[in-house]
A = this chain, B = another copy of it.
Amino acid sequence: MNVRDVALVGGATTKFGVRASTWAELAQEIGVALFRSVPELRSEDVDSLFLGAAEPERFAFQSHVAPFAAEQMGLRPHRIIQRTELACASGQSAIRSAYAAIASGLSDVAVAVGVEKMNLPSMAEANTAMASVMDRAWDGPHGATAPPFFAMVAQRHQLEYGTTDDQLAAVSEKNHRFANSNPEAQFYEKTFSREKLARLPLVAPPLRLGDCSSMTDGAAAVVLVAADRARAYTDRPAWIRGTGQYSDFHNLANAGSLTDWVGLKHAAREAFGRAGIGPDDVDFAEIHDCFTISEIVEYEMFGWAEPGKGGPFASEGQGDIGGKLVVNPRGGLLGCGHPLGATGIAQAVEVYRQMSGAAPAARTVPDPEWGLVHNLSGSANVHSVMIYQRGGAA
């Protein structure tokens, strides 16, 4: 049997934000939304479920979460069921697992779903859970959680390249503006000028509140199918053409440069190589803007901006509509919020919407043939990349 092409044929997300819903209720809600948005999908046709979830054990006091999600969504997977975890990249890992399962013939019709409930009655407990993403003996307990770590990246980038606070704010302004076209975004209808962003409180210098993605509850799901099934669900599939990952280190003491993310370059090279394209072919990208500085470094690592020139790339609008490529049209993690396991899935939903012509006008990417999705996890020590190509209309 030949390795099979894999098509993304639809998806949905819940409202992202501070939700009153439990983890189980979010899983129910995304089940309903998925079946509504892919009307041809029948429960009994879904042979496999891949759940991306980062910390339900801590956030929702539930483990064995994949069958829990299946039951809440009205699914009874009869080929593969599993949860994947890779912290902030858990969602993309679920999609990659579904891709491999379908390509190899183990699955024909799979759902990849991400669910995360991060807002707890005790936010101290939630923050402690977040600290456990970092090395629990050396890093997390000593304060090296995400905001301080990425603040160090920003400080170093500013020192090495003269990147400015205003250039950081340009990323935040763009992604929040895009989120204004996305009712599912946590910060829908919130506007943030660069001037307003500059007055928000500091979280970890130079990062202010508007430079940081938030603690978010939400869920997202996509349907992935073998090539010969795609037309049953859509006449505008998006094809997975390349995937790459790289795991560089874990303990911060073993990190190399703060601003040269070697792992991202490796993962990108692998994904581009498999897709047979280069960085300049990408029409739009959903990349991991957990902090504004992340998106700036990523511009450089992907080869869209020259080394050290991610700041000007941002302030010149090169990642905006009309620029070199459109970056984070959905609104990014900054505008949409970042429910860890759901983020990578929601990015894929945006790929489908852009490629099928369903994205609202305010964020429509012109003629999008190639889309890229990127997630980092932990202290940018692991990078995950997937590349999609638009399929033709029937």
User: Which A residues contact B (CB, under 8 angstroms)?
Assistant: 1-3, 22, 24, 49, 54-55, 57-58, 60-68, 70-72, 75-87, 93, 96-97, 99-101, 103-106, 129, 132-137, 243-251, 254, 266, 270, 377-378, 381-382
Contact = CB atoms under 8 A, between A and B. Distances in A.
A86 B377 CA distance: 21
Taken together, the copies of this chain in the complex come to: 2
Nearest to A250: B71
17 contacts: A2-B3, A57-B129, A58-B58, A64-B134, A66-B247, A67-B381, A68-B135, A71-B250, A71-B251, A75-B247, A76-B247, A79-B270, A81-B246, A83-B85, A85-B85, A97-B97, A100-B104
Contacts of A249: 67, 71
Contacts of A246: 76-78, 81
A49 B377 contact: no
A1 B72 CA distance: 38
Contacts of A105: 3, 103
A250 B86 contact: no
A85 B82 contact: yes
> Do most interface residues of chain A lie in helix, strand or loop, or is the interface mixed?
mixed
A63 B54 CA distance: 8
A9 to B, nearest CB: 19
Contact of A377 (B64, B97, B247): B64
Q: Point out which of A62, A64, A96, A100 has the most chain B C-beta atoms below 10 A from its C-beta.
A: A64
A382 B67 CA distance: 7
A78 B270 contact: yes
Given A58-B57, A76-B248, A104-B103, A85 B68 contact: no
Contacts of A63: 54-55, 58, 85, 87, 129, 132-133
A129 B83 CA distance: 17
Contacts of A76: 246-248
